[in-house]
């Protein structure tokens, strides 16, 4: 294979950082988003380690006492590894699945914090690297001036990046998908319109039609529990994902990734559905949930023999 062919393949395939063994099964652990090297195998069966972020640790401590606890990885404390790094010890969500299909969907109408945008605007510099990333995806995206200068500012890039995927329009975007045969793809940067998303979802569930109603039922319960959650009421949820996992028998969804989730200022209240304008802290989280529900419901209705949805009772209390 020539070098260019190898580079293309390497961009499509997401290598897994380690193998897990749980319930006598050995399987490659999957990371579809985020910085490589952030995860390690956990010291106990059924656990993984994630590099400690103080903001995320605080979120997990609150979530363990919240209505959302059954819908997030169980937090089992933190530890220091031999190399001196601090890690969160979390439940391995893939442990009960056999050759699972996994999809990471980042939820919300933006993936950056308001303070990140404000900081980027303080002393905006022309960034050649961001200009090059922009023209790789869309050569017509930069203005004539930006083309002339061969640079764009970080605020300009941050806002533009959300418009090329379904983040700004549907309130979520696909970050990565791994199929049961081990093949992975993160090539969804420009998966923008509803039809493109449906095509990707159909490929994700291909061969597993039974999982669509299970995903719909789980999304409904998650939406109900978000409305009951004190955590959700009091936090701006940015850069968080829903992790979809299924195999030949089971399907489930969890909320993951809280490194950019911040408690709201005391004078701010958000409903997670209103349009975001700088200063109102709206995240569009429920916009994403509702659109995911609509799309999976449409997919279920379009199947040759749509499966009747099973009512799922939400947990009555948090353990």
pLDDT tens digits, residue range 66-121?
999 999 999 999 999 888 899 999 999 998 999 999 999 999 999 988 888 888 88
How many whole angstroms separate alpha carbon 47 and alpha carbon 22? Answer: 9
Q: Residue 116 falls within a domain, yes or no?
A: no
- pLDDT tens digit sequence for 13-42: 333 444 455 444 545 555 554 445 688 888
Is residue 35 one of the residues assigned to a domain? yes
Q: What is the pLDDT of residue 122?
A: 87
How many alpha carbons lie under 13 Å from residue 262 in its C-beta half-sphere?
16
Query: 153 lies in which domain range?
Result: 123-166
Q: Does 176 share its domain with 256?
A: yes
pTM over 0.75: yes
Q: Which residue has the higher pLDDT, 187 or 312?
A: 187
Please check whether residue 108 is in contact with residue 291, taking contact to mean a CB–CB distance below 8 angstroms. no
Q: Kindly state whether residues 52 and 156 are assigned to the same domain.
A: no
What is the structure's pLDDT at 70?
97
Angle, CA 45 vertex, CA 43 and CA 47 arms, to 5°:
70
The tally of domains found in the chain comes to 2
The C-alpha atoms of residue 240 and residue 139 are separated, in whole angstroms, by: 29
Give the mean pLDDT of 199-227: 96
DSSP 166: S
Q: Are residues 101 and 203 in the same domain?
A: yes
Give the burial string for 194-217 (b: 16+ CB within 10 Å, else e). eeebeebbeebbeebeebbbbbbb
Residues 162 and 175 in one domain: no
């Amino acid at each position: 294979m020539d070098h260019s062919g190898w580079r293309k393949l390497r961009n499509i395939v997401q290598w897994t950082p380690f193998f897990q063994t749980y319930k006598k099964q050995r399987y490659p652990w999957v990371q579809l988003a985020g910085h490589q090297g952030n995860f390690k195998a956990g010291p106990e069966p059924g656990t993984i380690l994630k590099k400690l972020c103080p903001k995320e640790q605080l979120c997990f401590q609150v979530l363990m006492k919240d209505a959302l606890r059954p819908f997030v990885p169980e937090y089992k404390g933190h530890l220091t590894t031999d190399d001196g790094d601090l890690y969160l010890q979390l439940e391995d969500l893939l442990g009960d699945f056999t050759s699972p299909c996994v999809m990471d969907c980042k939820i919300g109408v933006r993936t950056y914090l308001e303070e990140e945008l404000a900081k980027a605007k303080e002393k905006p510099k022309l960034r050649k690297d961001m200009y090059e990333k922009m023209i790789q995806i869309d050569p017509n995206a930069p203005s004539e001036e930006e083309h002339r200068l061969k640079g764009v500012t970080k605020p300009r890039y941050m806002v533009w990046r959300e418009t090329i995927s379904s983040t700004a329009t549907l309130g979520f975007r696909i970050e990565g998908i791994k199929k049961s045969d081990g093949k992975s793809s993160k090539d969804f940067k420009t998966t923008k319109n509803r039809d493109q998303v449906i095509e990707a979802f159909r490929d994700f569930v291909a061969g597993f039609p039974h999982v669509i109603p299970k995903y719909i039922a789980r999304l409904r319960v998650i939406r109900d529990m978000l409305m009951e959650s004190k955590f959700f009421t009091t936090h701006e949820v940015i850069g968080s994902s829903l992790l979809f996992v299924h195999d030949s028998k089971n399907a489930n969804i969890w909320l993951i990734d809280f490194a950019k989730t911040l408690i709201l200022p005391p004078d701010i209240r958000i409903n997670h559905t209103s349009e975001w304008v700088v200063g109102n802290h709206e995240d569009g989280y429920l916009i994403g949930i509702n659109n995911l529900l609509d799309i999976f419901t449409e997919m279920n209705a379009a199947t040759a023999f749509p499966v009747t949805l099973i009512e799922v009772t939400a947990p009555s209390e948090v353990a």
